């Protein structure tokens, strides 16, 4: 069934990242995930120890380059592999692992600035926590944003502070909103990450997270399904005291419902989890990402649903 949703090149009913990139850069653009040897305040004791319960010792950088390699080597090695598939591809170096603004400004300059003016890069993506955005850091990122496109990826996971405590996030929703507003003050584009299926969250709580996030001044969203990796605190917690996991059908219908509350101008960068297969414990259905995306499309078409149609 053909639809009239404007922000797609492939008949989807949500605002695809592919559409955003092609419209803006008129070519194929790929992200290159880097490990810039940062740590995280939720690991080194300044906010917490052990990290968020779902996060492995890789600091959510499972697909990032090898931290023992120089950053430019990490970038060039992955770039060459991607160029074999997409010869004219442009790139966004993605500072993915750990908290990439958790350091003095001088360190940030050393890490970010070599990537500002590479001829095959169209911008930089920087993943971080809201409590690691100070006025000084937001201002600095704002100056970089005048030289290239800077995209900030901000973890939230849930608006519910009781869940944040259960997953040892060591950050509340108020802190998240303060960091977001500082970034917006300096004109930075922000992609928010949320997770469906966190321990003991109900359907209503997850929907509420999407509804509240849809009201924020954000430019993009990543919706993940919770996955339990074997090398995490969450795995130990689950083995000790199992909690209910979302079924595949529940996840798909929830995501479709959530998308209705996300305004159509917000880019949807991800709708699945992305666990390393060898490390994944549960849910095993989360591995088959393409079929999940296809079934989201089918359900939206069947019920004639579009992103943002309840906003």
Q: How far is the CB of 176 from ligand SF4 (least distance, A)?
A: 11
Closest to 153 in 3D by CA, of 186, 176, 120, 185: 176
Residue 51 in the binding site for ligand SF4 (CB under 6 A): yes
Residue 232 in the binding site for ligand SF4 (CB under 6 A): no
Q: How far apart are CA 144 and CA 123, in angstroms?
A: 10
Residue window 124-143: x/- pattern of binding to ligand SF4, with contact defined by CB under 6 A: -----x--------------
Closest to 180 in 3D by CA, of 267, 67, 172: 172
Q: Of the listed pieces 15-23, 38-46, 241-249, 285-293, which binds ligand SF4 according to CB under 6 A?
A: 38-46
Residue 179 in the binding site for ligand SF4 (CB under 6 A): no
Q: Of the listed pieces 11-19, 36-44, 202-210, 222-230, which binds ligand SF4 according to CB under 6 A?
A: 36-44
Unique residue bearing structure tokens 């849910």: 283
Closest to 34 in 3D by CA, of 141, 112, 143: 112
Q: How far is the CB of 274 from ligand SF4 (least distance, A)?
A: 13
- Burial of 224-239, coded b for 16+ CB within 10 Å and e otherwise, reads bbbbbbbebbbbebbe
Closest to 62 in 3D by CA, of 221, 291, 273: 273
Q: How far is the CB of 194 from ligand SF4 (least distance, A)?
A: 13
With residue 76 as reference, give the H or E element that holds it: helix 71-85
Residue 75 in the binding site for ligand SF4 (CB under 6 A): no
Contacts of 210 (CB under 8 A, 6+ apart): 194, 223, 257, 258, 259, 261, 262
Q: How far is the CB of 212 from ligand SF4 (least distance, A)?
A: 20
Q: How far is the CB of 140 from ligand SF4 (least distance, A)?
A: 20
By CB under 6 A, name the one of 5, 94, 95, 98 that touches ligand SF4.
98
- Using CB under 6 A, list all residues that contact ligand SF4: 40, 42-43, 51-52, 55, 59-60, 98-99, 129, 155
């Amino acid at each position: 069934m053909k639809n009239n949703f404007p922000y797609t090149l492939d008949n989807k009913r949500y605002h695809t990242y592919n559409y955003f990139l092609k419209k803006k850069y008129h070519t194929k653009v790929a992200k290159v995930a880097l490990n810039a040897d940062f740590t995280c305040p939720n690991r080194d004791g300044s906010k917490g120890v052990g990290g968020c319960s779902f996060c492995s010792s890789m600091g959510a950088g499972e697909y990032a380059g090898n931290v023992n390699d120089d950053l430019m080597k990490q970038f060039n090695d992955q770039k060459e592999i991607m160029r074999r598939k997409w010869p004219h591809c442009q790139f966004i170096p993605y500072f993915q692992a750990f908290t990439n603004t958790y350091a003095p400004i001088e360190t940030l300059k050393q890490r970010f600035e070599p990537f500002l003016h590479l001829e095959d890069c169209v911008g930089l993506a920087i993943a971080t926590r809201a409590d690691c955005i100070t006025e000084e850091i937001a201002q600095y990122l704002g100056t970089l944003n005048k030289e290239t496109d800077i995209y900030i990826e901000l973890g939230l996971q849930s608006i519910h502070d009781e869940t944040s405590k259960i997953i040892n996030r060591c950050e509340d929703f108020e802190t998240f909103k303060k960091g977001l507003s500082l970034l917006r003050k300096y004109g930075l584009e922000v992609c928010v990450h949320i997770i469906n299926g966190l321990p003991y969250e109900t359907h209503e709580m997850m929907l509420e997270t999407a509804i509240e996030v849809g009201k924020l001044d954000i430019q993009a969203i990543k919706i993940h399904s919770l996955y339990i990796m074997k090398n995490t605190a969450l795995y130990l917690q689950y083995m000790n005291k199992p909690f209910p996991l979302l079924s595949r059908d529940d996840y798909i219908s929830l995501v479709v419902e959530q998308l209705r509350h996300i305004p159509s101008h917000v880019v949807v960068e991800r709708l699945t989890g992305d666990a390393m297969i060898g490390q994944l414990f549960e849910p095993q259905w989360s591995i088959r990402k393409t079929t999940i995306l296809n079934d989201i499309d089918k359900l939206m078409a069947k019920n004639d649903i579009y992103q943002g149609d309840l906003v």
